[in-house]
Amino acid sequence: MCKLLLSKLRFMVFAVYLMSPQMAAPTLSCTEENSNKRSPVVKMLLRSSKMLIIKTHSDVFFLGAKTRSDVDPGTHARPLLAAPAPPNPPVVSDSIRLGPSLSRARARRPPVAAPPSLAAAARLSLSSGTYRSGQKMLGVVRRKVSGGSSPLTILGQTLPFLRAAAAPLRSYSSAFKEMTVRDALNSALDEEMSADPRVFLMGEEVGEYQGAYKISKGLLDKYGPDRVLDTPITEAGFTGIGVGAAYHGLKPVIEFMTFNFSMQAIDHIINSAAKSNYMSAGQLSVPIVFRGPNGAAAGVGAQHSHCYASWYASCPGLKVLTPYSSEDARGLLKAAIRDPDPVVFLENELLYGESFPVSAEVLDSSFSLPIGKAKIEKEGKDVTITAFSKMVGLALKAADILAKEGINAEVINLRSIRPLDRATINASVRKTNRLVTVEEGFPQHGVGAEICTSVIEESFGYLDAPVERISGADVPMPYAANLERMAVPQVEDIVRAAKRACYRSVPMAAAA
């Protein structure tokens, strides 16, 4: 399989930032006496005439490129940005730090100085940050490899320059670490179950299989089957059990494999969990969390792609949270579990594997985020863009594009749909005088419609342009990939709407 993959990949050189800069990595030596000790994978890589893949503790490199067209200029933009070059060629070893699966040898050769030509090319590439200068360094490396120099030696000589270039881009790494949304949810569940014995998890495949999306990984082994309960495929059954347990003071976390399946349990969620506190005059609390993936994924069809944010947000007695980042996921889930009222926690399947920087404060076991408070992800003065869940990422990308055209957009991550942070939204609109709402749900009676109504009621006199709503198409989610893309908001849709709000010209074809 590896040989087949290697045979199909083209020659290219680029460095990328890894999710775990602190990842430990043993050392592979290139000495002849250790050549027979290399793992079969390393031998195959070194024999390959097409590509050499090297993973270091902070970078990944793909070596080789036949022509300029073989390398995507975008792959150089991140690692090869401007950075101060070392005053002298560094002294490096041809021992390269590799991933754990690629190393068994340990011996080292005496250190050697980087060749002046290679060092000069690397400096040029790092100082300019351009694709052309990156290609110049690439050419030097390629000539030295073709001339018989060890690929590992050449890579060892270029690593110091590439790491120096990447350092400014990772300035948060000393105080922040990266965490996926999946790990953020898992750690929040783990810590809350450890802190409060009343918390338990129940749902389909949450135990032995460790969750359909591995959110509950390791929890069964740690807390046992009494607190991590696998259930039959009967949402109405285990949701009703969870609500009953909450009546008696426990704190269940109910996982739906997708929120589309929560429709099977709608009676327990709405008629029991949401209304019991009011019907008992506040004497009965229902501390339960309903969580799982919500909204469009990728090619899973209409019955697995519905966004239920506006559905549940319309019901008094429920709190509805929509995390975007790892900080959101961790802080909001902890807050939801600690809350005395029922909380609908809408995750997004496509965000589970996304990594975000988190601070030491976020990683503290006592950390939580306030329910009902939005976050200004990016400050601006020309137009307000509100979004939640996966749409926040699209809004931020749109803001970057708008900035290049002179439009400074403010992006608000709603975080909480009910209660809605109307104060933050209206304060932003009174500053920017324009509003664009973004959601992937249906347009009619949506979250965006509620936000627009709030702004019109409270800040109408501050508006300099009609409000703009971006939403999913008013159809069940198509299965075909091309139609699915048309049915959910895209970055270009947000850009066009923001430009309309700012009275910037939009091509007729694009507007249509």
pLDDT band at 297 (very low <50, low <70, confident <90, very high): confident
pLDDT digit string, tens, across residues 8-37: 333 333 333 333 333 333 333 333 344 444
For residue 156, what pLDDT is reported? Answer: 55
* Structural fold of domain 179-363: Rossmann fold (3.40.50)
Q: Is the pLDDT of residue 459 over 80?
A: yes
- Is-cis flag, bond preceding 419, omega within 30? yes
- Residue 419 tokens, joined: 């209660």
Q: Which neighbouring-strand residues pair with 28?
A: 96
- Residues 276-295 have a mean pLDDT of 96
Give the span between the Cα atoms of 317 and 314, in whole angstroms: 10
| Strand 59-63 versus strand 15-17 pairing type | antiparallel
Residues serving a catalytic function are 235, 304
For residue 382, what pLDDT is reported? Answer: 97
Q: Where are the domains of the chain?
A: 2-173, 179-363, 375-511
**How far does CA 181 lie from the centroid of its chain?**
6
**Coil/strand/helix, residue 383:** strand
Q: Is 278 exposed, middle or buried (0-12, 13-18, 19+ CB in 10 A)?
A: exposed
Q: Is the pLDDT of residue 450 over 90?
A: yes
pLDDT band at 149 (very low <50, low <70, confident <90, very high): low
pLDDT band at 251 (very low <50, low <70, confident <90, very high): very high
pLDDT band at 176 (very low <50, low <70, confident <90, very high): confident
Give the span between the Cα atoms of 294 and 472, in whole angstroms: 14
Question: Using CA of residue 122, residue 124, residue 127, residue 128, what is the dihedral sign?
Answer: negative
Which is more confident, 157 or 52? 157
Q: Is the pLDDT of residue 206 over 90?
A: yes
pLDDT band at 468 (very low <50, low <70, confident <90, very high): very high
- Residues 420-449 have a mean pLDDT of 97
CATH 3.40.50.920, applies to 375-511: yes
Q: Are 331 and 367 in contact (CB under 8 A)?
A: yes
Taking the CB of residue 82, how many other CB atoms lie within 10 A of it? 12
Domains 179-363 and 375-511 share a fold: yes
* Nearest by Cα to 406 from 498, 280, 482: 498
For residue 212, what pLDDT is reported? Answer: 94
- Residues 214-222 have a mean pLDDT of 96
* Nearest by Cα to 444 from 436, 455, 452: 452
Q: In this structure, which amino acid lies at residue 324?
A: Y
